[in-house]
Amino acid sequence: MFDTLPELPPPTPLLDRVQTPVELRQLSIPQLSQLAEELRHWLLYSVGQTGGHFGAGLGVVELTLALHYCLNTPEDFLVWDVGHQCYPHKIITGRKDQMVTMRQRFGLAPFPKRDESIWDSFGTGHSSTSISAALGFALAAKLKGERKHSVAVIGDGAMTAGMAFEAMNHAAHTDANLLVILNDNDMSISPNEGGFATYLAKNLRNRISGETSAALFEALAFEYTGPIDGHDLPTLIHTLKQILPRKGPQFLHLVTCKGKGYAPAEADPVGFHAITKIEPVNQPKQPKRKRFCNIFGEWLVNRAKTDSQLVAITPAMREGSDLIAFSKLYPNRYFDVAIAEQHALTLAAGLATGGMQPVVAIYSTFLQRGYDQLIHDIAIQKLDLVLAIDRAGLVGEDGATHAGCFDIAFLRCLPDVQILTPSSHDELSLMLDYARETSGVVAVRYPRGSEASWLPKAKTKRLLPKANLIREGSSHLLLNFGPLLDQAWKAAEELDMSLVDMRSVKPLDESLLTEILKPGQLIITLEDHSVMGGAGSAVSEWLHKQGFNNPLLILGIPDRWIEHASREEQLLSCRLDALGIQRSIEDYLHPVK
């Protein structure tokens, strides 16, 4: 058991000999136990250096070794659901020394990634996709006449999503040779909610009393094995060798401890789901600044004091969306629906129809999973609802799977849906008030992290959804949408541009644009969103509709996947910092021939 994170690389003599699972399979069972200890030690060291997902990886060290020992990877398919637990897998598949580059620009990705390694069968990042993918692998092998194993490792949190059960239901129909391993540690990012979590807890109690309840999985035509101790390597290997030759869908239920082997993580699995890197002892600590999500959490609590119809819904993101205080103060008006974004949206529709005023707190990247419900169940019915869209735009180290680059584009095309883009904490509070008091669907998208340390003051302060004039200049017109206002100001100062904080993508403040726009003036739009279909596209459509022939330069996230790096590095690579904005404008005006 470890109590602290090692600051120096630990000795790992056996792990150093295992460059790939090929060498792993040459070891004896007792050697594998030693390897597990060394692997866990190296994991503690490397994540301490880089930060990243932590508890889940510690909990699957033995499972990772047992799977690679019994399977013929990479020929056999191994899919890690979400990918939070993939660090041990990366360590023993040739990436041990690269672990200290995890989540850094040009370093290892924080999730399985097919173009990073042949050992990563399937790229992941979102929850509950593993069984569908592994079933696809199994069916492909069957159609091609290949004898390959296909394994999905999924956590009890991810099993709360409907997609996992949709895949299991289909697997029964195909009779595919598929092994689903449930890594049951009684914990996702937030404490698990719902009937399935209750069922698993009851199942474990039955095991203790000498009974086994496998009815749910056997009803889906899976042959059930377990529960067994997921940290008992000899038993794991013995069980896998028994199960893998069997035909048809198999289900193995493991009980593990999230954060296994690191005492603080075992005691606080939520707090140690992910960690930040170890900072040098002599480095002065920066004061903790409020983040946009904290402002949202405070607004929700304050509003609920006088707004008895207000209810909050989250798909298993209580901590991330800062709903902890609200959940404790107003438990009857707080609904954590587990990892079920589709259900979250339609539940909100039902609550709205029933006379309540729902606020759905959801990450931009996860809102994508409930898009049909947003259209069919909410927007078409013209229901009143607030979408509090967190992690909008570039999110940094988690990379492309978690970036919220597309919400403006997929929301803007929906009739009657309004989209607001705060540039500051104060603006976020104003917009949430406006959203609550306005009929229909109002989406407020805000970034991960805090507002800029300095922001310019507006020359005008107009009521939403109107825009604010920030600066009058003599050259071009820069329209800012969202949290890059400080960078926009610096660029506007350098090029003597007029600057407007637009605040609303839909509706656009057409009256202000008509008032200040000069004939032939270059318009630049700036947004922390894809240049395809975003706020710039909205301005382009408006110009065309009005018959204006002003040139337009749309600045935002380019039409490519933005790899993991710090948010600041991502913004630099997209030329969304002040200097990048300035140079993009100059390049547009003076193209190199």
Q: What is the pLDDT of residue 2?
A: 83
Q: Tell me how far CA of residue 440 lies from CA of 296, 357, 407, in angstroms.
A: 20, 11, 17
Task: Between 22 and 200, name the one with better pLDDT.
Answer: 22
CB atoms under 10 Å from CB of 208, counted, come to 8
- Are 390 and 364 in contact, with CB atoms under 8 Å apart? yes
Q: With b meaning 16 or more CB within 10 Å and e meaning fewer, what string describes 243-274?
A: bbeeeebbbbbbbbbbbbbbebbbeebbebbb
Work out the percent of the chain whose per-residue pLDDT is above 90.
84
pLDDT at 266: 84
Fold of 13-275: Rossmann fold (3.40.50)
Six-digit token string for 272:
């140690």
How far apart (Å, rounded) are the C-alpha atoms in residues 415 and 116?
41
The DSSP bridge pattern shows strands 310-314 and 357-363 to be: parallel
How high is the pLDDT of residue 262? 86
Q: Write out the two tokens for 190.
A: 């937030």
pLDDT at 265: 85
| Structure tokens belonging to residue 363 | 């990450």
Q: Which two tokens stand for residue 163?
A: 């997609």
Q: What is the helix (H) or strand (E) element at residue 195, kind and residue range?
A: helix 195-208
Give the residue from 472, 504, 500 showing the smallest Cα distance to 485: 500
Strand, helix or coil for residue 423: coil
Give the angle subtended at the CA of 185 by the CAs of 183 and 190, to the nearest 5°: 115
Judged by average pLDDT, the poorest of 189-193, 262-266, 375-379, 518-522 is 189-193
pLDDT at 477 over 80: yes
Q: Does residue 208 carry a pLDDT above 70?
A: no
Catalytic positions are 258, 341, 369
Bridge partners, residue 530, by sequence: 557
Strand partners, 357: 310
* pLDDT given at position 287: 77
Whether the Cβ atoms of residue 228 and residue 235 lie closer than 8 Å to each other: yes
The label of the residue with tokens 């990563």 reads: 120
Whole-angstrom distance, CA of residue 381 vs CA of residue 417: 12
Instruction: Report the DSSP beta bridge partners of residue 359.
Output: 312, 386
Q: Which residues fall within 8 angstroms of residue 44, CB to CB, at 6 or more apart?
A: 2, 5, 6, 58, 261, 262
| Arithmetic mean of pLDDT, 449-473 | 94
For residue 416, what is the DSSP state?
A: T
Collapse the DSSP code of 470 into the 3-class scheme (helix H, G, I; strand E, B; otherwise coil) and give the result: strand
Mean pLDDT of 490-495: 97
Percentage of the chain beyond pLDDT 70 is 94
- The radius of gyration of the chain's CA atoms, rounded to the nearest angstrom, is 26
pTM attached to this predicted model? 0.90
Q: How far apart are CA 138 and CA 132, in angstroms?
A: 10
Q: Are 483 and 423 in contact (CB under 8 A)?
A: yes
pLDDT at 202 over 70: no
Q: How far apart are CA 440 and CA 381, in angstroms?
A: 9
The confidence score (pLDDT) of residue 209 equals 40
- Average pLDDT over every residue of 231-237: 96
Token code pair at residue 475:
């050259």
Q: Give the pLDDT band of residue 210 (cuts 50, 70, 90).
A: very low
Tokens encoding 573: 């690579």
Of residues 106, 110, 107, the one with CA closest to residue 97 = 107
Per domain, the residue ranges of the chain are 13-275, 292-445, 468-589
* Averaged pLDDT of the chain: 93
468-589 is classed CATH 3.40.50.920: yes
Domains 13-275 and 292-445 share a fold: yes
Q: What is the mean pLDDT of residues 310-322?
A: 96
Q: What is the rounded average pLDDT of the residues 16-40?
A: 96
CATH architecture for residues 292-445: 3-Layer(aba) Sandwich (3.40)
Region of residue 239 (left: phi > 0; alpha: psi -120 to 50; beta: else): alpha
541 vs 544: CA distance, rounded Å: 5
Q: Provide mean pLDDT across the span 32-55.
A: 93
CA distance 95 to 116: 10
Those residues whose C-beta lies under 8 Å from the C-beta of residue 303, and which sit 6 or more positions away, are 310, 432, 433, 436
Is residue 277 within 8 A of residue 51, CB to CB? The reply is: yes
Band (219; pLDDT cuts 50, 70, 90): confident
Task: Let me know: does 585 contact 524? Beta carbons within 8 Å.
Answer: yes
Residues 6+ apart with CB under 8 A from 309: 355, 356, 357
**3-state DSSP: the chain helix, strand, coil percent, rounded to 5?**
40, 15, 40
The residue to which tokens 């540690």 are assigned: 185
CA distance 479 to 485: 9
Residue 117 is predicted with a pLDDT of 96
Whole-angstrom Cα distance, residue 87 to residue 58?
Answer: 9
Q: What phi, psi does 486 have (nearest 5°)? A: -65, -40
Residue 205's pLDDT is 47
Mean pLDDT value of segment 513-536: 97
pLDDT for residue 206 = 55
Q: What tokens appear for 26 in the block? A: 């040459």
**Rounded Cα–Cα distance for residues 571 and 409 (Å):** 19
pLDDT on residue 512: 96
Tokens of 546: 């009005």
- DSSP letter assigned to residue 585: H
- Can you give the pLDDT at residue 559? 97
Chain centroid to CA 478: how far? 31
Question: Is pLDDT at 142 greater than 60 in this prediction?
Answer: yes
Find out whether 183 and 153 touch, Cβ atoms under 8 Å.
yes
